């Protein structure tokens, strides 16, 4: 999957499997594509991040002006986003997306700052 990123912003810090995790809203460069929520957790080596999952947001900000994740506006798209194809493996696609995401704007610096605050943030 090639997904051109226009912008990315940390929505909140949460937990996934007991580890601190940044929920990042990813805005597509292509008009009409849905926004994604990417979940990144710190990994080793220090300064590294693991892409835990991707959720496709089909929520309309006109209707869902509040975050309503109780219906199917948020669909886990991790598996369908990264599939083996002729050009690359799912793992390579996932890594390429993660690198593109981390190089968007000030996201990497913001992740380092927000996630270094540690558990007292929760």
Average pLDDT over residues 35-58: 87
Percentage with pLDDT > 70 across the chain: 71
Q: Could you give the angle at which helices 107-115 and 90-102 cross, rounded to 10 degrees?
A: 90
pTM of the model: 0.74
Strand order in the sheet with 5-16: 5-16, 19-28, 35-43, 48-57, 74-76
- Mean pLDDT within 61-83: 55
Neighbours of 48 (CB within 10 A): 12
């Amino acid at each position: 999957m090639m997904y051109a990123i226009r912008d990315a912003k940390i929505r909140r810090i949460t937990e996934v499997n007991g580890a601190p995790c940044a929920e990042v809203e990813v805005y597509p460069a292509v008009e009409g594509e849905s926004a994604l929520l990417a979940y990144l957790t710190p990994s080793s080596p220090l300064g590294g991040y693991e892409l835990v999952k991707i959720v496709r947001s089909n929520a309309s900000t006109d209707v869902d002006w509040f975050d309503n994740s109780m219906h199917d506006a948020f669909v886990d798209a991790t598996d369908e986003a990264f599939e083996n194809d002729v050009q690359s493996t799912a793992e390579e696609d996932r890594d390429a997306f993660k690198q593109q995401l981390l190089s968007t704007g000030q996201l990497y610096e913001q992740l380092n700052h927000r996630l270094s605050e540690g558990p007292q943030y929760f």
